[in-house]
Amino acid sequence: MKRELLTLATIVLVVLQTACTTISIEESNFLNPDQKVQITKLRKIEQTATTEDITINGFDDVTLSGTLIKVDDAQATVIYFGGNQFRVSVAGGKPAQQILPMNVNILMVDHRGYGNSEGTPTIENLKRDALSVYDYVATRTDLKSTPTILHGHSLGSMIAGYVASERPADALVLEGSITNVKQMTSQRMPWFVKPFVEVNFSDELARVDNLKVVESFTAPLLIITGEDDTQTPPALAETLYQHALSKQKQLYIVKGKHHGNALTGDKLQLHYQRLVMQLKAKKS
């Protein structure tokens, strides 16, 4: 309901500002269906796709729930970490349909405290849970033989970056990522208020630093951001790319896209497939 009221308020504001301009209001302004993982849609992309509901024990035995999508002859296994409030049952279908054409397995897990996962979320808990998810993949005989790609969106990019610093990831995808919270805040704060505002960060947030991660990460790296992203501005992605140590790094700034839809860019497959090819070349 809050989303619908915000949409209506926005429309009213636009009407007041545009006087006699004609505005079309569509059903899509009010209807926002869940984008859950649907096997019928996945098999239109890859005929061999199957889904499996999985549970993983977190570091403190909290049960984490997710979905594993498998394909025949997978080129890699993507561990996808979603953004804030990401739920596989609500939003998992969107990234799955965008990534699946690369002929990869995809594992998506609800953050603790969200969706079907138990527990209470904190930054430290989510980071430790992410290691449990990685370790789960490493113990499955049907997954550990494929290269592992860590893919994080927004909040999930912080988590993916952390895992990449703690485990031997074969590739890393940072989508809508920050460098660190200090730089992100500075980018979003108007210049004229900076002299008058002091921002204090909790120790947990201050330790989140993907800039440090990419400065030591040597495997293939893909950085994705929307051209119109106001939450994590493209300047942050450009900084990550400039400081990245990897010799196999890519920066994809998606024209006309924002924080939540960069994966729908028309050149995503080109960049993602290049990442997968880099893994194949490394393996051979």
Nearest-angstrom CA–CA distance, 92 and 37: 6
Residue 119 has what pLDDT?
95
More confident residue, 194 or 257: 257
37, burial (CB in 10 Å: exposed 0-12, middle 13-18, buried 19+):
buried
Which amino acid does the sequence have at 161?
G
Dihedral angle sign, alpha carbons of residues 193, 223, 138, 71: positive
Nearest-angstrom CA–CA distance, 23 and 19: 10
Residue 120 has what pLDDT?
93
- DSSP characters for 60-85? TS-EEEEEEEE-TT-S-EEEEE--TT
Per-residue pLDDT, averaged over 83-95, amounts to 94
Pairing of β 77-81 and β 105-109 = parallel
Nearest-angstrom CA–CA distance, 167 and 175: 19
Which of 28-42, 92-106, 178-192, 224-238 is least confident? 178-192
Residue 32 has what pLDDT?
62
Report which of 195, 171, 186, 193 is spatially closest to residue 80, judged by C-alpha positions: 171
274, burial (CB in 10 Å: exposed 0-12, middle 13-18, buried 19+):
middle
pLDDT of 67 > 80? The answer is: yes
Per-residue pLDDT, averaged over 106-110, amounts to 98
Residue 50: HSE in the Cβ half-sphere, 13 Å Cα cutoff: 8
Percent of the chain with pLDDT strictly greater than 90: 71
Report which of 89, 127, 92, 86 is spatially closest to residue 106, judged by C-alpha positions: 92
Answer yes or no: are the C-beta atoms of 174 and 157 closer than 8 Å: yes
Nearest-angstrom CA–CA distance, 154 and 175: 6
Question: Dihedrals φ, ψ of 226, to 5°?
Answer: -85, 140
pLDDT of 193 > 50? The answer is: no
Per-residue pLDDT, averaged over 218-245, amounts to 96
Measure CA 112 to chain center: 16
What residues have CB less than 8 Å from 256, skipping those under 6 apart?
226, 227, 228
Mean residue pLDDT of the chain comes to: 85
Which of 12-16, 83-87, 221-225 is least confident? 12-16
Residue 85 has what pLDDT?
86
Q: Taking the model in full, what pTM does it have?
A: 0.84
More confident residue, 167 or 15: 167
